[in-house]
Amino acid sequence: MLPDGVYPTMITPFNDDMQVDYTALEPLLRWYEDRGVTGMFAVCQSSEMFELNFEERLGILQRLMKLRRPNTAIVASGHVSKDIPTAVREAKAFIAEGIDAYVFITHRFADIDEDDEIFLRRLNAVTKELGDFPLGFYECPQSKPKYNRLLNPYIIERLPNIGNFVFLKDTCCNMELIKAKLAAAQGSNFKIYNANSAMLLESLRAGCAGYSGVMGNFHPQLYTKLCDCWQTEPELAERLQSFLGVTSTTEGLGYPVNAKYHMQLDGVPMGLATRSEGKMEKFNLNAQYVTRQMRGMVMALTKELGL
């Protein structure tokens, strides 16, 4: 069973020529691991997977699987194709690397005007080729056109008949819907990992298994602490929640460039290059100041808590 905890959405380092910087993957992975994460969500949207070809996606995963420490779980996606034979072939290639779960992108199974039955039919066509391997979903926002297909209780209730589903990176940002999803998943191995920082503590109390979101690329140690202490140290949990909710607003300052800058400040030898359109322009001088100031507060809080 997939362990509870924190699964940051891992970024991809690039050289100045926009080629994947495979050399930087080891210090980057150690940065996450040294901050106590449970595992990594690799080759996802934060990894710029839609801007990577299949060889790059697979190459990144292969490198991570060789480098990861034994106690680091790896869930991975790389699911970019709507074509079922291609989706099956690429999923099998990822699974063959020994990952802990393969993660599907919800909007690849049905367009905005297609219903749940179409979604389930296409999902079943893929999963029947993958056997009993652990699978998951990522409610991944699509930018062009803007579209995010959320799982609903109707679909979640039917998942045990379709495959061995164990993971959801939830991006609905709606506690009532999260609670309905949790109720629909009751009695199964299907776990929900909230991506919304502001609602994290409330979602943990409701039954979510942990956190999987972009702010794990800035201060994952604080997310790990919250997931570890929310039942035993409620006052500290409330304090951490307030800090994490407010600092999560910095996501809009050119992410993932600001995350790469933050990691540079922490000593990770990687550049700021990104293939994501328009993100470098958003990471302006003001964003640099905010990122440095946030890091200063994180360092002080981390020291205070002995993390």
- Per the CB < 8 A criterion, the answer to whether 168 and 215 are in contact is no
pLDDT of res. 26: 98
Which pLDDT score, from 0 to 100, does residue 144 have? Answer: 72
In the chain the domains, ranked by start, together with CATH numbers, are: 5-305 (3.20.20.70)
Report the pLDDT value the prediction gives residue 177, as an integer from 0 to 100. 98
- Please state, in angstroms and rounded to a whole number, the distance separating the CA atoms of residues 219 and 237: 15
Query: What's the pLDDT at 141?
Result: 87
pLDDT, residue 202, reads: 98
Determine if the peptide bond prior to 27 is cis (ω within 30°).
no
- In this prediction the pTM is 0.97
* H/E run at residue 73: strand 73-76
Number of H-type helices and E-type strands within the chain: 12, 8
Q: Mean pLDDT per 10-residue run, the chain (307 residues)? A: 97 97 98 98 97 98 98 97 97 98 97 96 97 97 84 98 97 98 97 98 98 98 98 98 98 97 97 94 96 98 97
Q: Which residues contact 137 (CB under 8 A, 6 or more apart)?
A: 103, 104, 105, 106, 151, 165, 167, 168, 169
pLDDT on residue 163: 96
- The pair of structure tokens assigned to 196 is 């919304």
